Structure 1
Amino acid sequence: MLSTLFSSSQSSDQVTLYPRNPQYDPQRCLETFKLYGEQYRRKNTIAVMGKTKKKNSPVWAYGEALVRAGDQKEVYYCYLCESERKPQKLPVLCGTKGGIDHMVVHGFDREGNKVEKAPATQRRLTSFATMVSTYDYDKFKRLFLRWIVYCQLAFAMLENDYFRELVAFLNIGLAGLLPRAGVTLRRWIMDEYAEQKEGVKAELRLAKSDIHLSFDMWTAPNGIAILSVFGHWISPSGTRQNKLLAFRRVYSKHTGEHQGEIVISVVREYEFEDRVGYIIGDNISSNDAAAHTILSRLYPGLSLEDRTGRRLRCLGHIVNLCANALIFGGGKKGGDKELDRLANKGDSEGCDELWRGRGPVGRLHNIIKYIRWSPQRRQEFMECIKGGELAEFDLLELIADNATRWNSFYTAIGRALTVRERIALFCRRHKPDRPTGGVKRDLLTAQHWTQLDKIHDCLKTFEVASSTTQVHRSYFSEWFQTLSWLLHELDNWRLQFEEDSVGDKTFALLSKCCEASWQKAEKYYRLADDTPIVYAAIMLDPREKKQWFIDEWSHGTPEQQAWIIQVERQMKALWQAQYKPSVANASQRRTAVSQEISDDPRQRRIDYMHKRRRLNDPSEPIDQLDAYLATDTVPRSEEFDVIAFWLERQQTLPQLAKFALDCLAIPCMSDDAERSFSSGRDLITYRRNRLSADIIEATQCLRNWYGRPLKTDPGKAEVYSAFDDEDTIEQEFHGSRRSPDQTYDATCAQEVA
């Protein structure tokens, strides 16, 4: 008996383990066998040998324990299901709980006693009460983890008696499935992270494009530095993937070189060292150093020019710099240093005076800060509307600006214009409680309000440029197109203000501000020559090709007309250097084909007839890029899918399709990392500031990989599980509490001269 029990594994999906089953044969009762496609091992065979104590639970009278080879988990094999020829549920045991819950299905109570059949209504209630308990334990565990991670709940909540009482009230069996301590939940999360990480690695291996990187660094509320690293690629199904690869604590130095080393370690963890494409980030010197470190280490053969061509500037950061130049007339950088110096000295009046010198925007900043400084002033501001014609503006408070975010000025000015009369009324009525000027020195005249109105209209241009390119539906071809449109808009505003300034000097300052903003945008417009991929992205859009450049520059200056030929030359140089198959390789392939001799004499005759034509043909193989550019553009339509267009041409134009898919995978902005910081701020709170670095990274990565919950019909009782169809999850940011016009939080960092 024992010799057969420990013999070789049985390969069958039908086993008989119940000793009272007429088909039971002890000679065929093997230790290991396959059931429903998975390998299992009987656990009670060891107990039979008398080396473990007797099992007293009633579940062992109706079944036994099996060990699943895949994950080494113990499951319950039911003798009653076998005798009734029902499929085995194989619930995870968790001691004996899984078996006890399963026995309820066969009409037993939790003590192992047979229960009389209840009326239909009672049976429905019992079925509802045991529905979750008898459900797949692994699936429940993953759904529970997803809820904890996505909502960023404290692990100690599981130990809260009130929470456990609530769960027990809903289902006594469900309460037993919950972990009893936060450390257990931590282990569950780390195990889930390791498993999901392997899935991301598999996705990266199947990517149809290079994997592009974006990253940014952030200081958490508890003072630790964290580097957020995102990967961007095209999946085999044609979906653009933007996934968080690391949310890693930065120790020691925060230099660009050190950040680059951290990114390299992340790339090696995910095993795509030979597929790193372009690197996009804010325009600060540390990001330049990080990009050169990454590319020089991974691709030692790349020249400095090639490394520079792979370092892309975040469009959102360019928009931020241009918008600040418009708001402050280009003098913000030096003024910020002086503000910091005065603030460190505690000179509030000096700070107010410096802001006052920045024109109407600075005056409005002082008024908003003054009103919001105390609850009494806020209340006084709200009381300005009671009983008057301004009642329609009730409950609208002033919005504070933020020196590091241009769009905060856009929203602050917009709200101030809405409650303009209330601000004027407050300034007239208010009596300061201290011997200071209060808001008297910052009163806004009619000219000031006109300037604020025009500045707000101008900033709407930047809001459109930012919001339309930060969503994941925008393509990299829009990077250069948006910058070009921004230049046109700023030039139109500048010309309009110059004309208006003839009769009203109020517009002279606005014209100078537009000029400063235009110069900033024009600087990065010309720097696009360093990264020819921005031109290639437009040409590889079948709706644009060369026609966009012709429409943009053919009616301009001679210099602009020459740009049409120049960008095409740069794009073709990039194609020949990195994608175009070499003539030698093509010749080798033709030679290899010609040397294959067929066994069929008819085929040999055909080969002979065409041999001279092949040998005497002086023409080179058709260039894929030239052939593509020679065709007409595709008509524009909302239904056109440019990614699907190139996926369909992977067989006929393999190298060119790869070139295009690489362009399509690049994001216009590095805002994904910025969004992850908003989510991290909700995790690392002042009451949860001792979380270890590994659990912080695991939870933030899982939260990003799970994606936002999909909306379901509230009338349906079924529960949607993202694990059933993970490809349908929309991988975009979902943690920010800001409105769409405030999602990009540009950092006020040192600009590269």
Structure 2
Amino acid sequence: MDSFDEEDAASTPPPPSELSTSSASTKYAPSRFPDYEAWTIDKFERFPGFTICHDPSRERTWWWQFGFRMKDNRSQPHKIVWICERCFLRNRLKTTHYVFIASTAGGIVRHLSREHKVVPPSRQRTGPVSGNGGAQRNLLDMLHADPTNPRDQSLLSNLHSLFDPAVNQLLLLDWLTYHNLPFNLVNSERFRRLLLYNNPSLQEEQIPSDRTLVNLLTNEYNRARGPVHVLLQKARSMIHFTFDGWTSRQNASFLGINAHFVDRDWKQWRILLALPALRNRHTGAALADEVADTICAFGLQDRIGYYTLDNATNNDTAMEALAAEFDFDKDERRIRCAPHFLNLAVRAMMYGSKRDNFDELLAHWGDKDFMTEEDEQRQLSDAINELGTDDDFGTPSMEEDLELETAPEQSQDQCQVPEIINAEKVDKYRKFGPFGKLHNIGIALRMNSQLLEDFYEAQRQTAPTEPVLAWVQNVCTRWQSDEAMASRALLKRSAVNRMLSIIEERWVSQGGKEQDRPAILKENLSLEEWKVVATVQKILQPFKVASKQLQGEGISGKRSTSGGFDEYFQVVEMLLDHLELAVQGVIIEENDDHIMEEVHLFDDMDAKTRKLLKIYIKLGWKKLNDYYGKLTSTAYVAAVVFHPCKKWRTLEQLWNQLPSRQTSEWRKTYEGNLTRVWEEKYKDMAHEVACNAVSASESNSALDYIERRLAFSRSLVRPDSQERQSKRRKQSATLPVQDELDQYLSEPPVDNIAYKVDPIAWWRDVGAQLREDGDTTQVPPATPYRGHGSVPSFVE
């Protein structure tokens, strides 16, 4: 860049490696600023009413390196002015010749060009990436176009017209918000250089600042509220909600409120309606106020469906407040987040109760070997039951229970470290058995670089040809991180044992004083404890599959599994059956050919280890069974019954094959509730239904893991149970058809893979057929669709 003769060296920009790292810097941002110390008292006398207001974050344009930023306090409002540094230092008499209002950039540029021969950087002929960091390319130079040639002029004009700066800003905003990136990223000099290099049609002044993007985000939200309001009001289904807390990296708390529904075109939607900041305590009443305000803002008071929430106590209070305000049954409209109570069940199995530990349970259980398996099971159940009512182990608060942005297997090496590590917390985890010890080992490795190097050296000694891997640390809110920690520990078991040996040898060589004994040596796992870790690792695999099956936004086609609400019963029943077999020492594993086979767990285990494992399993079963008993809403059954490929047959298969949990009251209760909802809301709207002529034969050609696992269990059920199920189907098939609901239920489930993964498509096709028959108003009575994670929705 050209500069003043006397100050050529002073104004020469530094090389790229020395460019300003200010978050507000840009491609042509000043690499230097004028010397403000030159403003002595006598200088101020020449500019009465002027004060210095130097702010590098506001001085991003190239010409600020040639002038002072001052405030003229004589005017109202106060004006920001630019004073030419060169003219100022030369004591030019007429200040009006070199003092310009900062917003009049044209005058400043003309002054620098005429008086000092300084031109804007964009007019200089530089390479693709010049020494001063410039990266903007010119279309004229890129295309080697002749500006005097009409054809080239037309080409350049068309290229410029194809680029819309407003759309560019929206895409930039979408990228930042989607990936939760800081808005001040756009102020990065290197980022702006990248944009300018990739798009020659983009001018530097068209790149928005962080403040511009914040304002644009607010404007976009306000603009979208109108169309979203119309879309919600015209929805075919009721509007269902999920809300949960979220904490930013700056520890700011927000409440995300999502709506889930089916529109008039049978398309499923999940929309973030609001993200209010939570500045006070996260009480249930405070959460309910925010949700109620959002519901009223969109006029949804009469279209409220179901709420899917986790099991925090403040959500219980929030549901009570919302039910009182909008007049609905809080128990009926409350849906429990399946992945959340699966997390609680697994953590109960891995760490037990927050009041008791496994050594105490073993002591309560007794040490004698029981003569029969039945006696042992009875004694185990008594020991577990005498724990009394226990709150959820480590139930996360809203601040702690954060959704991870990546899957557990993608973030295994980037787990959080507790902020405070003390002896009390370490002792607490050690009481939780081998998994608590693995947790403490990870903490020690994170806190001491020498121990971490010992772990790496132990890996190199025990397995020279294998890669050296980092330790995987668990986090308090996700059991998958515990499973990942155990997997890595088992993989590097020899290295862990060798590391502890190295540490002990070093301690002994330094004197072996008890007060100097490294604390990590207390975390040494015995042979029996390693067996427990390996066995529990096998037991956790179906939970891992179930968690993945329930993941997703609930919209078919986006992934292989979409977290269908109709899968709740099947998943929980499969896991309960899995734990009931595991406590007997047997699990069912699937080989590479998708063939199920039994695997024995307790072979080569002593009595104490076997008892310890049964305590682990029984605690997990107890927690899962407790939450299974809370699935009382009619919506749970309706989601299965109104799935055209499942209906009552799926539930009968589940309940008939598991007599230990079967009760005749289950179907009667659910069926009565379902009929009551039908008669109160839909029967008067009913018209004749013509079901699709789709083959109803049972097919196993497209079973997922959960279904294959349940089918294997059914094959082990006594024949009389299957015979009862067959008779019940025949009896139900002979019932007289009374209305639309009876006709729908009298038809066998359809056998169509497309409808299995997208039940909404079946109801849509039925509606299309009804319209062909002349009925344009009929809507299926209660169509489940797959909501976010596990959100139920009914087309009403």
- Structures share fold, TM-score greater than 0.5: yes
Aligned to 1:534: 636
Work out whether residues 350 and 616 of structure 2, in 8 Å CA contact, stay in contact via their aligned partners in 1.
Answer: yes
Deviation string, structure 1 residues 264-316 (Cα, Å, up to 9, x no partner): 11112223221110011011221122123223322x3x3xxx33100111111
Q: What is the deviation of 1:634?
A: 0.6
Which of 643, 652, 658 is residue 550 of structure 1 equivalent to?
652
Q: How does 1:447-486 map to 2 (within 5 A)?
A: 447-471=528-552, 472=554, 473-486=562-575
Deviation string, structure 1 residues 429-468 (Cα, Å, up to 9, x no partner): 1135880243332222222111101111112222122110
Q: Write the letter of the residue equivalent to 1:571.
A: L
Which of 743, 746, 756 is residue 627 of structure 1 equivalent to?
743
> Which shows bigger deviation, 144-153 or 566-575?
144-153
Aligned to 1:401: 474
SS of residue in 2 equivalent to 1:486: helix
SS of residue in 1 equivalent to 2:302: helix
Work out whether residues 225 and 250 of structure 1, in 8 Å CA contact, stay in contact via their aligned partners in 2.
Answer: yes
SS of residue in 2 equivalent to 1:174: coil
Work out whether residues 234 and 665 of structure 1, in 8 Å CA contact, stay in contact via their aligned partners in 2.
Answer: no
SS of residue in 1 equivalent to 2:254: strand
Which of 346, 354, 359 is residue 323 of structure 1 equivalent to?
346
Work out whether residues 643 and 664 of structure 1, in 8 Å CA contact, stay in contact via their aligned partners in 2.
Answer: yes
Change (3 A) 1:393 1:235: farther
Q: What is the deviation of 1:146?
A: 2.7
Q: What is the deviation of 1:337?
A: 8.6
Q: What is the deviation of 1:157?
A: 4.9
Q: What is the deviation of 1:251?
A: 3.2
Aligned to 1:495: 584
Aligned to 1:417: 490
Deviation string, structure 1 residues 694-713 (Cα, Å, up to 9, x no partner): xxxxxxxxxxxxxxxxxxxx
Deviation string, structure 1 residues 502-534 (Cα, Å, up to 9, x no partner): 8543121111221111121112222223x1110
TM-score under structure 1 length normalisation: 0.61
Work out whether residues 258 and 270 of structure 2, in 8 Å CA contact, stay in contact via their aligned partners in 1.
Answer: yes
Q: What is the deviation of 1:422?
A: 0.6
Which of 659, 664, 667 is residue 564 of structure 1 equivalent to?
667
Deviation string, structure 1 residues 469-509 (Cα, Å, up to 9, x no partner): 12222321111221111111111111117983885431211
Alpha-carbon RMSD = 3.8
Change (3 A) 1:177 1:312: same
Q: Write the letter of the residue equivalent to 1:550.
A: E
Change (3 A) 1:525 1:163: closer
Q: What is the deviation of 1:566?
A: 3.3
Greater relative contact order (CA < 8 Å, ≥ 6 in sequence): 1
Partners of 1:499 and 1:160 lie apart in 2 by: 57
SS of residue in 1 equivalent to 2:148: coil
Q: How does 1:230-629 map to 2 (within 5 A)?
A: 230-298=258-326, 300=327, 302=328, 306-331=329-354, 348-386=422-460, 388=461, 390-430=463-503, 431-432=506-507, 435-471=516-552, 472=554, 473-496=562-585, 500=602, 504-529=607-632, 531-557=633-659, 560-581=663-684, 622-629=738-745
SS of residue in 1 equivalent to 2:631: helix
Aligned to 2:782: 660
Work out whether residues 490 and 534 of structure 2, in 8 Å CA contact, stay in contact via their aligned partners in 1.
Answer: yes
Q: Write the letter of the residue equivalent to 2:244.
A: D
SS of residue in 2 equivalent to 1:470: coil
- Structure 1 unaligned blocks of 5 or more: 1-106, 587-619, 672-753
Partners of 1:499 and 1:634 lie apart in 2 by: 39
Aligned to 1:72: none
Change (3 A) 1:158 1:269: same
Q: What is the deviation of 1:230?
A: 0.9
Q: Write the letter of the residue equivalent to 2:746.
A: A
Work out whether residues 649 and 657 of structure 1, in 8 Å CA contact, stay in contact via their aligned partners in 2.
Answer: no
Change (3 A) 1:296 1:167: same
Which of 171, 179, 185 is residue 213 of structure 2 equivalent to?
185
Q: Write the letter of the residue equivalent to 2:500.
A: C
SS of residue in 2 equivalent to 1:396: coil
Q: What is the deviation of 1:148?
A: 4.1
Q: What is the deviation of 1:390?
A: 0.7
Partners of 1:152 and 1:510 lie apart in 2 by: 42
Deviation string, structure 1 residues 332-388 (Cα, Å, up to 9, x no partner): 6789799x9xx99988334333322222112222222222322222122111233x4
- Structure 2 unaligned blocks of 5 or more: 1-138, 356-389, 398-416, 555-561, 587-599, 689-735
Q: What is the deviation of 1:417?
A: 0.6
Change (3 A) 1:479 1:370: same
Q: Write the letter of the residue equivalent to 2:682.
A: Y
Partners of 2:189 and 2:437 lie apart in 1 by: 54
Work out whether residues 368 and 400 of structure 1, in 8 Å CA contact, stay in contact via their aligned partners in 2.
Answer: yes
Aligned to 2:32: none
Change (3 A) 1:246 1:337: closer
Partners of 1:188 and 1:354 lie apart in 2 by: 49
Change (3 A) 1:155 1:527: closer
Q: How does 1:38-77 map to 2 (within 5 A)?
A: none
Work out whether residues 133 and 174 of structure 1, in 8 Å CA contact, stay in contact via their aligned partners in 2.
Answer: no
Partners of 2:311 and 2:160 lie apart in 1 by: 52
SS of residue in 1 equivalent to 2:547: helix
Partners of 2:177 and 2:746 lie apart in 1 by: 52
Q: Write the letter of the residue equivalent to 1:629.
A: L
TM-score under structure 2 length normalisation: 0.58
Change (3 A) 1:481 1:577: farther
Q: What is the deviation of 1:560?
A: 2.5
SS of residue in 2 equivalent to 1:242: strand
Change (3 A) 1:654 1:280: farther
Q: How does 1:92-111 map to 2 (within 5 A)?
A: none
Change (3 A) 1:655 1:291: farther
SS of residue in 2 equivalent to 1:227: strand
Q: Write the letter of the residue equivalent to 2:674.
A: M
Change (3 A) 1:252 1:654: farther
Q: What is the deviation of 1:214?
A: 0.6
Partners of 1:180 and 1:637 lie apart in 2 by: 48
Change (3 A) 1:208 1:466: same
Partners of 1:515 and 1:654 lie apart in 2 by: 54
Q: How does 1:108-119 map to 2 (within 5 A)?
A: 115-117=147-149
Partners of 1:414 and 1:294 lie apart in 2 by: 43
Partners of 2:602 and 2:186 lie apart in 1 by: 66
Residue 206 (1) aligns with residue 309 (2): no
Q: Write the letter of the residue equivalent to 1:540.
A: F
Deviation string, structure 1 residues 374-407 (Cα, Å, up to 9, x no partner): 2222122111233x45134423111111222211
Aligned to 1:637: 753
SS of residue in 2 equivalent to 1:236: coil
Instruction: Find runs of 4+ consecutive structure 1 residues off by over 6 angstroms.
Output: 332-338, 343-347, 653-656
Partners of 1:537 and 1:150 lie apart in 2 by: 31
Partners of 2:444 and 2:419 lie apart in 1 by: 19
